[in-house]
Amino acid sequence: MITHYNVIANTIQLVTFEQSSRPCKTKGEVVLGMLPHSHIYGIVVIAALSLYRGDCIVSLPGYNPEQLLGCIQRYQINVLNLVPTIIQVIVKNPDIVAKFDLSSVRTIVSGGASLPENAGKLLAKNFPNWTLRPAYGATEVAACLSHTSVHDAWSGSAGSLLPGVEVKLIDQHGIELTGHNQPGELLVKSSSICIGYLGNDSANKETFLEDTTGRWMKTGDIVEVRKSKNGNEHLFVVDRVKDMIKVKVRRVATFVLCRADDFVQGKPSCSG
């Protein structure tokens, strides 16, 4: 259950995080709004955030590579909000991309899943003027916990924490980790965290914890905190502990595969 307060809180956190690169008084940008506005990524990062900042949102009815590239050229889009599957289509089809003028693009925001390292390298090689800005979050946090600054992009990173977000890492024995480069399950506290799962007390008890320091959410992700060369702390998602199954005594994370074209139309056709 996500409240209006959660959405507003995360919008303010994102705006504050980007103050150094996008002061509120600057001219609005042209933003791609292809992802469904029924998804938390589309609701907060595209609709709420962009409208709050006075951006122009170019919405598409669905996903078609040439239609997408044509819209970037026609409307001189500056910011592409995409998921990794669509980014990979762009970097793996240079012949199609070469037909269009994409010089207006400055930033590409990647969310919804981890972008494969080879795709990130291809993007940097083919589009050196684009800044790749991965973000990390979940529906339960409406929608972002961390984002990447244009001044401190780091390949493989999930970005730095947004203002007002607190985290802690817990090892397999429940002991809190306090050093860098130590993998542990990520727990998060933020005003954007939802109030819980409707009618699912067992999931609420498993996911949300309260102690003397407040209410925490277990993300189920194994994360390391590393320092960039600029001295900023970044999150690196290295594993997953939630939704695990046992296969011949080994613990394996379950996952869901969705076609990119179905995702952007809001009609996922998925298989586990």
Interval 13-42: pLDDT, tens: 999 999 877 766 567 899 999 998 888 999
DSSP for 75-136, please give it.
HT--EEEE-HHHHHHHHT-HHHHTTS--TT--EEEE-SSPPPHHHHHHHHHH-TTPEEEE-E
- Per the domain annotation, does 223 fall within a domain? yes
Asked whether residue 55 is assigned to any structural domain, the reply reads yes
Counted domains in the chain: 1
Q: Return d(Cα 191, Cα 162) in angstroms, integer.
A: 11
In a domain, 264, yes or no: no
Indicate the SS3 state at residue 227.
Answer: strand
Answer yes or no: is 262 within a domain: no
Q: Is residue 250 part of a domain?
A: no
pLDDT greater at residue 56 or residue 248: 56
Least confident of 23-27, 92-96, 230-234, 267-271: 267-271
- For residue 213, the domain's CATH number is 3.40.50.12780
Residue 254's pLDDT band (cuts 50, 70, 90): very low
Q: Which residues pair with 248 in a beta bridge?
A: none
Question: What is the average per-residue pLDDT within 200-217?
Answer: 95
Give pLDDT, residue 243: 57
User: What is the per-residue pLDDT across 163-176, written as a single tens digit (0 to 9) for each?
Assistant: 999 999 999 999 99
Is residue 251 in some structural domain? no
| Residue-number span of the structural domain to which 30 is assigned | 4-239
- Whole-angstrom CA distances from 44 to 40, 174, 234, 245, 270 are 6, 33, 22, 32, 24
Residue 38: what pLDDT?
A: 87
Span 74-99, average pLDDT: 94
Reported pTM: 0.85
Domain for residue 62, yes or no? yes
- % of the chain at pLDDT higher than 70: 87
Asked whether residue 77 is domain-assigned, the answer is yes
The model's pLDDT over 139-198, given as tens digits with 9 standing for 90+, comes to 999 999 999 999 999 989 999 999 999 999 999 999 999 999 999 999 999 999 999 999
Residue pointed to by tokens 């995409």: 82
